[in-house]
């Protein structure tokens, strides 16, 4: 099986409790609803689909949903959370797109022995060493690339993709404790 993985560090998933219109407004100030829709629901009966408003992507929609809920459950606290379904989440769409591109790159990479697509880095060898004292550290010094075809199982040790061959003394625990 060939797959690609992209880890996004920009995850905007978050939630907030809302019991007044002011709470709602202050949440809105922190959000850009055009880029990231939200879900509003009562805290207590969060399973009742009739009272779960999803995909709210404008402050007007959010206020309307809030007023409907407030009419129904006067004393209730509500929960706003980001709607992380991809079609309501621009950030996530771009990560999915990036992941698709990675997959294309991977499929174009052929095993030097059997020509199977998907020849790629599967692990690495630790021990990038300091350029001055030569002490080995945890970061990778080389990459291990493997063929996904189990009948072939070809592996190759390659230099790091970023070309790094050593650590500067400033990054070394021995030279710069
Ligand atoms: Zn192969
Ligand atoms: Zn050193």
Q: Which ligand is nearest to the CA of 148?
A: 1
Say which residue the tokens 């621009």 belong to. 90
Q: What is the pLDDT of residue 89?
A: 72
Write the pLDDT tens digit of every residue in 71-126. Answer: 888 778 899 888 877 777 777 788 888 888 888 888 899 999 999 999 999 999 99
Report percent pLDDT > 70 for the chain. Answer: 92
Q: What is the pLDDT of residue 4?
A: 67
Report percent pLDDT > 90 for the chain. Answer: 36
Q: Which ligand is nearest to the CA of 176?
A: 2
Closest C-alpha among 80, 82, 99 to residue 35: 82
- 15 vs 36: CA distance, rounded Å: 12
Q: List residues, by chain if needed, whose CB lies under 5 Å from ion ligand 2.
A: 130, 132-133, 169, 172, 174-175
Please give the distance, rounded to the nearest whole angstrom, from the Cα atom of residue 135 to the centre of ligand 2: 6
Stated pTM of the model: 0.53
Please give the distance, rounded to the nearest whole angstrom, from the Cα atom of residue 124 to the centre of ligand 2: 21
Please give the distance, rounded to the nearest whole angstrom, from the Cα atom of residue 5 to the centre of ligand 1: 21
């Amino acid at each position: 099986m060939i797959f690609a993985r992209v880890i996004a560090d920009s995850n905007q998933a978050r939630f907030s409790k809302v019991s007044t219109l002011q709470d709602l407004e202050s949440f809105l100030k922190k959000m850009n609803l055009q880029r990231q829709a939200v879900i509003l629901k009562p805290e207590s009966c969060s399973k009742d689909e009739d009272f779960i408003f999803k995909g709210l992507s404008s402050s007007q929609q959010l206020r309307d949903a809030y007023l409907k809920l407030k009419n129904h459950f006067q004393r209730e606290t509500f929960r706003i959370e980001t709607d992380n379904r991809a079609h309501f989440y621009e950030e996530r769409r771009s990560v999915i797109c990036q992941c698709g591109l990675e997959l294309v790159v991977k499929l174009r990479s052929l095993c030097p022995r059997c020509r199977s697509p998907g020849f790629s880095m599967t692990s690495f060898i630790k021990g990038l060493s300091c350029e001055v004292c030569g002490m080995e550290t945890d970061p990778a010094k080389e990459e291990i690339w493997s063929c996904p075809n189990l009948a072939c199982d070809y592996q190759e040790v390659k230099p790091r993709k970023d070309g790094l061959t050593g650590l500067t003394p400033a990054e070394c625990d021995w030279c710069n404790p």
